[in-house]
Structures are given as structure tokens and as C-alpha cells.
A = this chain, B = another copy of it.
């Protein structure tokens, strides 16, 4: 494989973007990434988006967004793996560049969720429609079952779940692009409305509009371009049963572990070498599972790790310095690329008030559904 780097990133503010359509949002992010990279053209583009068909009645967004971005006849395709769509788009850009077929490929992600008629239904199409959603289960319900099993087996507490939300809001407070820029306390979480026991409102990521983009180039081209490059040293992806009930163990999201194992092997690294990470905290319990599967905490000790400060901005391994999905927001198709944008900013030393000192190696973990798909990427400063 030809080695590849990210040479530019861009994202919109995340939130309720009532004045911007899906095409406006994507184009803003793409133009920022192109400008950041300092390239005068792109050879190809991929867009991660979970469900523009159900959210805004528009499929074929590859063509639409190439058109609106003004880059036709450049090849443009959409990639979908529910909430992991963005990072899967990145993988396609990596493969296209690594193969030598193209040199400058844009990987973007976008979702316009607030226009959706029934976002709970739409998100549930990432679960097994026939065997889960049809019987009324929703995503808060699925993750609540994971949380309840984790509590039962390992003694994980509601306070530990809340600690994840408190940390991520503290980080998001420092991120100008975050949807919910306010500090919260454990009490904020524990006193908020119960959505699906044991998950309160503040254990859940919000409904968000937003876009993000990254420019992938061959490593040997990176030095000649304006943007400060960050090297991609691993890309990995794994699948699992789409239905939660088909798994042998509710407390283990095995696709995270499988993807992480492959990524660490590809990078030639162990988890202790990771300086910081962006993980998929669609619900607080998901971040706790991620700690365990990524090797940041022992199995069953993810809750304690969250409470200990290990993953705080000044901890040993800061996680979700961007605010994560919880505070920054979760426009599902864009999330995987927004994670990349945060790691690139950190590895470049451009993360402002939330900068992690001496950040050299960063990891992203992006997940679809209740873990039916998962990607892990590892990036290295240059």
C-alpha cells in the first residue's frame, strides 16, 4: 500500500442549522477542507451519510454534492454504515489513494437530522428492522440494555455513566463548533429526564445537523502542499450482528475490539502508545465499552476509568477532547470525519483551549448502530 496522509480538514458548526440545507452544510465543510489543504482540485470524493433519503428525501447525494461543490465530472459516491458512515467514507478515500488510482481524494460526511419527520424511526433503521425495530425498540433502548447488563455484571454505576457526560461537556465547552457548549455536573445528568432506564437525557447524544471533510493524499505528495500533514498509520473495520439479541455477551461490543486489534497490528502499536482518542459516545455507556475494547481500561473497569479522570483533558489518555458526540453533537454521517478533524487539529497543535500537550499519536473509533459496524483509525503527527 502507498502510504497516505491527511492534508486538510474542515467542519461546520454542529447544531440546529435551520438556515442551511444538506448541500449548504456539506459544501461549507468541503470548501474549508480544500482551503486548509491548499489544493486546487480533487480527483474524487466520498460522502458518508446515513439516511438522506429518509431525512430529506434525497438519495444520490454524491452527484448532488459534486454538482453543488462545482467539481463535476469528478467521481462522487456516498458510503453508508449508519453512524459509522463518515469513517467508512474515509476508508474508501484511503484505499483509492493507497492503490495509486487517485492522488487527492475528499472524504466527507454530512447529515441534516433536524429536518427529519421522525428521527427516532429513522435512527432505528440502523437496527434490525424486522427483528428489533418492528417490536418497538429504539436506540436509547438498545444502549440501555447494554448499560443495564454492564451494571449487573460489573457493578458499573449511574454516577460513572454521568462522569462521561460531565467530562465531554467540559471539553465541548472549549470547542467553538460544539452544539451544546455548557458545563454540566453529575447532578445535571442524574436529575435529567429518564429516557430509557438507566439512561437519562444527558446520557444521550443529541440530534444534530452538521458536516465535516478531510483531504487524503499520498504521503510523498504531502510535503509539497500547504496543509500540515498528519499520517494515517492504521485503518480497520469490523462488523458484528446487527441485532443486539444475537450476541453472546451484551456487555462487549466486539466490533470495537476486532477493529482495534487490527488497527494496533497495522500501526505496530499497543494501546499505551495512544496519546488521545475520539470515541463514539452516542450514549455514555458506549464510551465506557470503548475504553474496555480499545485497551484503555480492563474489561469491566471502564466505568471506574471514567470516574478516575484517566480520560479527562489533563488525564493520561484524553478521550473526546472535542466534546464527543455528547456535547459536540452527532450528525450521524459526519461524526466519523469530525473525529478525524479533531485528531488532526490536536496532532497539529491547533486545538486551542482544549490542546493536549505533546500529542503525537491519536485514535478514532466510530460505530454504526449498536456496534453492528465499527472502524478504528490511528493517526500520527509529522
Contact = CB atoms under 8 A, between A and B. Distances in A.
A125 B1 contact: no
Interface string A309-341: 000000000000000000000000000000000
Contacts of A54: 53-54, 59
Interface stretch (A232-240, A284-292, A300-308): A232-240
Interface string A77-112: 111111000001001101110111100000000000
A136 interface: no
B130 A21 contact: yes
How often does this chain occur in the complex, in copies?
2
A224 B91 CA distance: 29
A35 interface: no
Interface residues of A, number: 64
A73 B240 contact: yes
Interface string A342-382: 00000000000000000000000000110011000000000
Contacts of A73: 238-240, 254-255, 258
Contact of A59 (B2, B50, B75, B96): B50
Contact of A62 (B62, B66, B81): B81
B99 A80 contact: no
Contacts of A77: 79-81, 88, 91, 237, 373
A297 interface: no
Contacts of A78: 79-81
B64 A372 contact: yes
Top 3 nearest A-B pairs (CB, nearest first) are A63-B372, A75-B237, A60-B82
